[in-house]
């Protein structure tokens, strides 16, 4: 009887893992591989989860806390939970207008949503779809200065208060299992083509009537003849600034007047350098195990980095969040909040906005219950003494 629920009633999905199973059933294999896989032998992908699981929690008894405080102040704003949706690209392959679905789910819960440079929805469409959204924009540094400047101007006009600069993916990681779905670049193998035919619901949602979605956010800069899935991805790979440096980051800090967060930190020295350059925040992450395989798990990196920059900048944690207990552990180790991308993508791949919202609600419910069981009445009181 120990089987995950296979139906469509989201209230009968009780964990992120169960939502992931639902997403896997609804997606063709190549799309699932893109969503769930990691780089090379997937060591880091696995360690992100297992190293979090290895940390124990200390519980106190006879400390009633019926309504533990979960609100935090993050980057100068009060937020109801220490959770935000992190950036992820090409989400339209999972669900039509997936970026808009994620944004609406976040906005309904007053949580931040981060739109990727390589999103299918445009910055403008996201703002229109969710006018009250706590809107962050993620930037991949680009070679073409004019294109990057225009992206920044568009983000400013859309009211994005936080710019998240990703530094660990200018060279794409070796995602071998993703590549094995294709006989040649962007050409599915025969086996995967047949598998697509076994998922008519996905085909109807995603492919009808216009085929695979394109990178709408970058469409103004892509030559018209290349605004298809293959041409768009080729364009992105050619435009990534592989020479982005601390000097260029310093100039970007002068250019952007809002909050600036540096994403891709795994080393204490880099965290300290980010603080010295005036970053408002850093994201401790290994890109979900999708870049350098064998790198530190994100939670082990957090254990080293948070004490080095404590009180000097906002520390966000990303990579491996699957449970409310994972959030507790990250905060107890010095994070101010967490970003989750993959978990909410499982939700959006299953049921669009409702699925993403269900994942956020599950994490919020688990977080509350965990605090109650631990006897912690204020999330801001968490520190390493609550761990074992």
- Pick the catalytic residue: 8, 199, 267, 287? 287
Buried b (16+ CB within 10 A) or exposed e, 261-293: bbbbbbeeebbbbbbebebbbbbbbbbbbbbbb
The confidence band for 227, taking pLDDT boundaries of 50, 70 and 90, is: confident
Find out whether 33 and 178 touch, Cβ atoms under 8 Å: yes
Find out whether 16 and 346 touch, Cβ atoms under 8 Å: yes
Structure tokens that stand for 244 in this block: 């982005």
Handedness of CA 76, 139, 340, 7 (dihedral sign): positive
Tell me: cis bond preceding 252? Omega within 30 of 0 counts: no
Maximum distance among all Cα pairs of the chain, rounded to whole angstroms:
67
Is it the case that residue 230 has pLDDT exceeding 80? no
Q: Where would I find the H helices in the chain?
A: 16-26, 29-36, 43-53, 98-108, 123-129, 145-157, 176-179, 190-197, 200-202, 229-239, 246-255, 268-276, 298-309, 324-332, 342-374
* Residue 93, SS3 per DSSP: helix
pLDDT digits (tens, 9 = 90+) for 236-294: 889 999 999 999 999 999 999 999 999 999 999 999 999 999 999 999 999 999 999 99
pLDDT at site 288: 96
List of domains in the chain? 10-175+238-386 (3.20.20.70)
Q: Which residues lie below 8 Å from residue 209, measured CB to CB, with a gap of 6+?
A: none
Q: Is 267 a catalytic residue?
A: no
pLDDT digits (tens, 9 = 90+) for 18-49: 999 999 999 999 999 999 999 999 999 999 99
Cα-based distances in Å from 272 to 54, 169, 257, 268: 27, 20, 21, 6
DSSP structure string for 201-270: HHIIIIITTT-S---GGGGGGS-GGG-SHHHHHHHHHHHB-TT--HHHHHHHHHH--SEEEEEEE-SHHH
Q: Give mean pLDDT, residues 53-68.
A: 95
The confidence band for 123, taking pLDDT boundaries of 50, 70 and 90, is: very high
Tell me the average pLDDT of the chain: 96
* Spatial distance between the Cα atoms of 129 and 116, rounded to a whole number of angstroms: 16
């Amino acid at each position: 009887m120990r089987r995950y629920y296979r139906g469509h009633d989201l209230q009968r999905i009780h964990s992120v893992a169960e939502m992931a199973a639902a997403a896997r059933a609804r997606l063709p294999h190549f799309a699932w591989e893109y969503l769930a896989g990691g780089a090379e032998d997937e060591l880091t992908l696995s360690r992100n989860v297992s190293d979090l699981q290895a940390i124990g929690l200390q519980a106190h008894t006879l400390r009633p806390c019926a309504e533990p405080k979960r609100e935090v102040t993050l980057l100068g704003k009060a937020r109801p939970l220490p959770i935000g949706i992190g950036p992820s690209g090409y989400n339209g392959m999972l669900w039509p207008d997936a970026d808009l679905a994620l944004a609406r789910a976040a906005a309904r819960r007053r949580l931040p949503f981060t739109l990727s440079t390589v999103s299918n929805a445009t910055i403008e469409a996201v703002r229109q779809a969710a006018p009250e959204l706590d809107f962050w924009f993620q930037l991949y540094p680009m070679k073409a200065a004019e294109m990057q400047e225009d992206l920044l101007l568009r983000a400013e006009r859309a009211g994005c208060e936080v710019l998240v600069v990703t530094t660990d993916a200018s060279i794409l990681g070796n995602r071998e299992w993703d590549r094995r779905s294709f006989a040649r670049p962007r050409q599915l193998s025969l086996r995967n083509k047949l598998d697509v035919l076994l998922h008519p619901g996905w085909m109807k949602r995603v492919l009808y009537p216009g085929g695979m979605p394109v990178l709408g956010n970058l469409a103004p800069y892509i030559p018209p003849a290349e605004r298809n899935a293959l041409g768009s991805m080729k364009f992105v790979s050619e435009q990534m600034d592989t020479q982005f440096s601390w000097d260029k980051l310093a100039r970007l800090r002068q250019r952007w007047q809002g909050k600036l967060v540096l994403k891709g930190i795994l080393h204490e020295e880099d965290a300290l350098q980010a603080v010295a350059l005036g970053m408002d925040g850093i994201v401790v992450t290994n890109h979900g195990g999708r870049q350098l395989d064998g790198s530190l798990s994100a939670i082990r990196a957090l254990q080293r980095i948070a004490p080095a920059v404590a009180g000097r900048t906002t520390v966000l944690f990303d990579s491996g969040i699957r449970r409310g207990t994972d959030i507790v552990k990250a905060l107890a180790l010095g994070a101010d909040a967490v970003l989750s991308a993959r978990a909410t993508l499982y939700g959006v791949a299953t049921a669009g906005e409702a699925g993403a919202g269900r994942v956020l609600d599950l994490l919020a419910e688990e977080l509350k219950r965990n605090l109650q069981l631990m006897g912690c009445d204020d999330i801001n009181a968490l520190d390493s003494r609550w761990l074992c």
